[in-house]
């Protein structure tokens, strides 16, 4: 790999550095990973993992924070591949203070948000899943996701129902799947997938609770409540709102040279889907059968979530276009990439629409 990286270097900095911390939920061990992105001499977009190792500096090494041991490990890993900071132009990560400071201030690289992390953070905040303040801002949405989780848990764990749900899926719904999907709030894509599966199997879910309630009444027991009673429209509107964001996150995790399209997709989500008064594309819409949700039909929950998601994305990204403090710190690397794309060279058709929000 060292020879390959050497052959791909230019006289000017051209590589992009990605650093990220990851904590194992089972052992609570922290790991640090380092990856380089580049366009090689054959004009192929490539990435290489430089290293992943446990990160647990001794107490004596942590004096003044973790920046010193962090930099030592990072520089040592780069040296293993005959790389130096001056070979790198850009960097990307989440907005964690340690990694961002190292890449942006310590190594003096042009830092940009990792879009997958940014979209995830903005969505968690808007859905009431980003901590106490976030939950207080959108307690209704956090409650809807809690109810959805309860339904998934009930269907999976109630052993007395046997294969009832699978039989109801075959009888009342389309598709081969016969179970609901679990999800984790730490993985936004799994939440939207779980929400869609519940909607796909809605008739089976409703009938499953009805049969269990009838059985309980017959045995003179309190019938179980259906947590998502009267929540169907909220689920449909919420999923329709979040589906384009989930598609964006899926797209930006792919390692393809078309990554510049991620930025344009984010612009269009902000301009179309998140603007007050605009129609929202129904999650079941297709080119042959387009469906839209009028703004006037949105529930208060959907309106609030839409507003909070717009504000969260503005705070993390779009404020660079209208806040002096954010503008001064921005290198506009992504916008420069966009201007090099043959489709988006005409600013009247692309960037100008995003700047004038």
Residues 6 or more apart in contact with residue 312 via CB below 8 angstroms: 121, 122, 123, 125, 126
Span 249-271, average pLDDT:
78
* Residue pLDDT, tens place only, 147-189: 999 999 999 887 666 788 999 999 998 888 888 998 887 777 7
What residues contact 157, with CB distance under 8 A and at least 6 apart? none
**Sorting pLDDT into bands at 50, 70 and 90, what band is 5?**
confident
Long-range interactions of 71-78: CB distance < 8 A, separation 24+:
71/102, 71/106, 73/32, 74/19, 74/34, 74/102, 77/34, 77/50, 77/51, 78/34, 78/50
Mean pLDDT score, 320-340: 80
Model confidence at 132: pLDDT above 80: no
Q: When comparing pLDDT for 260 and 310, which is higher?
A: 310
Position 217 scores a pLDDT of: 92
Identify the CA nearest to 127 among candidates 183, 198, 199.
183
Is residue 273 packed enough to be buried (19+ CB in 10 Å), middle (13-18) or exposed (0-12)? Answer: buried
User: What is the pTM for the complete model shown?
Assistant: 0.84
Q: Which of 15-24, 120-129, 200-209, 245-254 has the highest mean pLDDT?
A: 200-209
* Non-local CB neighbours of 191 within 8 Å, separated by 6+ positions: 145, 183, 184, 185
String of b and e for 35-67 (b: at least 16 CB within 10 Å)? bbbbeeeeeeeeeeebeeeebebeeeeeeeebe
Q: How confident is the model at residue 308 (pLDDT cuts 50, 70, 90)?
A: very high
Angstrom distance (rounded) from CA 169 to CA 309: 34
Kindly tell me if the per-residue pLDDT of 356 is higher than 60: no
Q: So what's the pLDDT on residue 26?
A: 83
Task: Give the model's pLDDT for residue 290.
Answer: 92
Domain ranges of the chain: 2-113, 122-316
* Residue of 155, 204, 223 whose CA lies nearest to 147: 155
More confident residue, 340 or 138: 138
Supply 307's token pair. 């507003």
Between 356 and 346, residue with greater pLDDT: 346
Report d(CA 117, CA 115) in Å as an integer. 5
- From the number of C-beta atoms within 10 Å of its C-beta (0-12, 13-18, 19+), residue 159 rates as exposed
Could you give the 3-state DSSP secondary structure of residue 41?
A: coil
Q: What is the arithmetic mean of pLDDT over 100-111?
A: 88
Q: What is the pLDDT of residue 186?
A: 73
- Residues 195-211 have a mean pLDDT of 95
Paired tokens of 182: 């679990």
Q: Where are the beta strands (DSSP E) in 67-120?
A: 88-93, 110-113
pLDDT at 72 over 90: no
The whole-number pLDDT of residue 200 equals 95
- Per-residue pLDDT reduced to its tens digit, 287-296: 899 999 999 9
pLDDT tens-place string over residues 39-54:
888 878 788 889 888 8
Query: Has residue 351 got a pLDDT over 60?
Result: no
> CATH for 2-113?
3.30.420
Confidence of residue 357 (pLDDT cuts 50, 70, 90): very low
Report the alpha-carbon distance of residue 100 to residue 112 in Å, rounded.
Answer: 9
pLDDT at 258: 59
Three-state secondary structure string covering 138-180: CHHHHHHHHHHHHHHHHHHHCHHHCCHHHHHHHHHCCCCCCCC
Q: Which pLDDT belongs to residue 225?
A: 92
Identify which has the larger pLDDT, 181 or 65.
181
First to last CA, the chain: 44
What pLDDT is attached to residue 256?
61
Out of 48-62, 94-108, 263-277, 338-352, the most confident range is 263-277
């Amino acid at each position: 790999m060292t020879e390959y990286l050497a052959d791909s270097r230019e006289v000017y900095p051209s590589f992009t550095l990605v650093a990220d911390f990851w904590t194992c939920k089972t052992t609570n061990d922290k790991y640090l990973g380092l990856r380089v992105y580049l366009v090689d001499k054959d004009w192929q977009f490539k990435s290489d993992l430089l290293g992943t190792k446990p990160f647990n500096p001794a107490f004596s090494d942590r004096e003044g924070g973790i920046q010193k041991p962090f930099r030592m490990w990072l520089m040592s890993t780069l040296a293993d591949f005959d790389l130096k900071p001056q070979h790198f132009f850009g960097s990307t990560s989440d907005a964690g203070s340690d990694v961002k400071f190292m890449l942006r201030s310590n190594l003096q690289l042009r830092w940009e948000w990792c879009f997958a992390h940014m979209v995830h953070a903005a969505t968690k905040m808007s859905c009431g899943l980003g901590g106490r303040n976030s939950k207080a801002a959108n307690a209704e949405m956090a409650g809807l996701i809690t109810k959805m989780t309860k339904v998934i848990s009930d269907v999976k764990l109630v052993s007395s129902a046997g294969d009832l749900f699978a039989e109801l899926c075959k009888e009342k719904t389309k598709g081969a799947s016969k179970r609901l999907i679990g999800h984790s709030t730490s993985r936004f894509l799994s939440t939207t997938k779980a929400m869609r599966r519940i909607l796909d199997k809605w008739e089976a879910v409703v009938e499953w609770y009805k049969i269990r309630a009838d059985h309980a009444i017959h045995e003179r027991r309190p019938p179980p409540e259906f947590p998502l009673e009267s929540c169907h429209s909220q689920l449909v509107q919420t999923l329709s709102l979040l589906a384009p964001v989930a598609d964006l996150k899926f797209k930006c995790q792919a390692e393809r040279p078309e990554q510049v399209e991620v930025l344009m997709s984010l612009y269009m989500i902000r301009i179309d889907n998140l603007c007050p008064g605009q129609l929202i594309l129904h999650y079941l819409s297709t080119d042959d059968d387009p469906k839209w949700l009028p703004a006037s039909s949105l529930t208060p929950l959907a309106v609030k979530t839409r507003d909070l998601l717009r504000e969260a994305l503005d705070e993390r990204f779009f404020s660079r276009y209208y806040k002096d403090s954010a503008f001064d710190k921005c290198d506009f690397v992504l916008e420069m990439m966009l201007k090099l794309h043959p489709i988006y060279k005409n600013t009247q058709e692309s960037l100008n629409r995003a700047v004038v929000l």
